[in-house]
Structure 1
């Protein structure tokens, strides 16, 4: 019975690394990957949140405190993965974030923080992981519908996510001789702590933001993080073995109208 169950797990025997997995989409995806049989390594910047995530995920998971914008943290992360697992089959580069700042109020600090987290961190996460990537490995980059749509006061974040999309287009050429796939997963509005916190601490304002975002999605609602995790699972699994360089929108149709 156990052997039959394991054979049905889509990531059985695979080693997966997920950055930024202590909440939201990263945490939901880690739970899904673990349920599908993956050996997991997850990262977060806060030790308490990382410990809580490991406990919530269960299964074969190791939490490693790391800031993806820090090369020394990345070196330590992948040295640990090499020591304990020896390879990476799935790399979900999910760590990142942003905040609102309209043109005229954008500071150098705001720009640097956003691009360090969303562009520098992604680039050096992938580059540092390269020696460990198995032949046929899957790299998934977290993009956003904002990369192709205008959003008031969100230009820096949007530009950073447009850079992610173009990383994928170029890296599939750099990695073609290794059979490594690179795809971008671009969620639409998803009810995560990172999203609602954009509205501040006021619960009414947070709900107002969610209601507004739901109103511009053709499906009439925002996503649950587990729905984005389902899309990540497809890109991670052998079911997407001939899918390479795409941007998969899991957005309820928002970016399509």
Structure 2
């Protein structure tokens, strides 16, 4: 197995892409720490209980992230794979943006992602892999997505630079981004319950269908495995061709 004996951590690992990543990494032998806000929901279905460890943490709180990483250090002493997936997509139209709605989205998507990365740095083992989960929204303008798209564009720029940081490269730490397009998850299903909306989205995708969380998880596995040993600062797009249409 590609990740036998490795320690992985996935934020937002309770459902959707995060849960699929937990299942895939565990299937390749990793012991996966599943991070989310709600303790009772922290074990995704389909993963052997002995392969996962749930830890509740609010990624919008840097102190909570620091405590999370301290717990990981106590339990394992290191991290080999870090998947920064926690994110939200709810934001009002641009004309109605207020500081509170800005903070609610950016606190998770940007501040949470950055400080998860920062507090994990001392734990990252030699040759570790960090994977940020972005969005095609950062590359494909859509009405109503300005703040969300901006947050994901920030992640892409952050990872591009972190992935070429000399101190990290000296430790052979890789930093990359997986960029999903429309993926069929419980969250996206709730947001596009109207069949006409789902059909509209499908028309934007050259492959003519929504993606599966498991398809994104395969890209995450590649970047988390030794197969990506010469890949850093890069982006793998899993969007059915949407960003090129």
Aligned to 1:111, which of 82, 89, 102? 102
Aligned to 2:16, which of 16, 21, 24? 24
Question: For residues 144-179 of structure 1, what are the alpha-carbon distances to aligned partners after superposition, in whole Å with 9 as ceiling and x for unaligned?
Answer: 101111111110000000000011111123322221
- SS at 1:112 equivalent: helix
Paired with 1:101 and 1:249, the residues of 2 have a C-alpha distance of 26
Counterpart in the other structure of 1:44: 36
Stretches of structure 2 lacking an aligned partner (at least 5 in a row): none
Residue 223 (1) aligns with residue 211 (2): yes
* 1:31/1:57 contact within 8 Å kept: yes
Question: For residues 41-87 of structure 1, what are the alpha-carbon distances to aligned partners after superposition, in whole Å with 9 as ceiling and x for unaligned?
Answer: 0111112221x42x542242100001111112212211111111111
- SS at 1:115 equivalent: helix
Paired with 2:108 and 2:190, the residues of 1 have a C-alpha distance of 17
Paired with 1:119 and 1:198, the residues of 2 have a C-alpha distance of 22
Residue 34 (1) aligns with residue 26 (2): yes
Residue 60 (1) aligns with residue 26 (2): no
* 2:60/2:112 contact within 8 Å kept: yes
What's the RMSD between the two structures over aligned residues? Answer: 1.3
- SS at 1:134 equivalent: strand
* 2:11/2:36 contact within 8 Å kept: yes
Paired with 1:197 and 1:252, the residues of 2 have a C-alpha distance of 21
- SS at 1:118 equivalent: helix
Aligned to 2:132, which of 137, 141, 144? 141
- SS at 2:184 equivalent: coil
Aligned to 2:191, which of 169, 189, 198? 198
Paired with 2:135 and 2:78, the residues of 1 have a C-alpha distance of 28
Paired with 2:98 and 2:120, the residues of 1 have a C-alpha distance of 32
* 1:196/1:209 contact within 8 Å kept: no
* 2:91/2:105 contact within 8 Å kept: no
Counterpart in the other structure of 1:90: 81
Quote the offset at 1:100 in angstroms.
4.2
Paired with 2:244 and 2:127, the residues of 1 have a C-alpha distance of 30
Counterpart in the other structure of 1:102: 93
- SS at 1:173 equivalent: coil
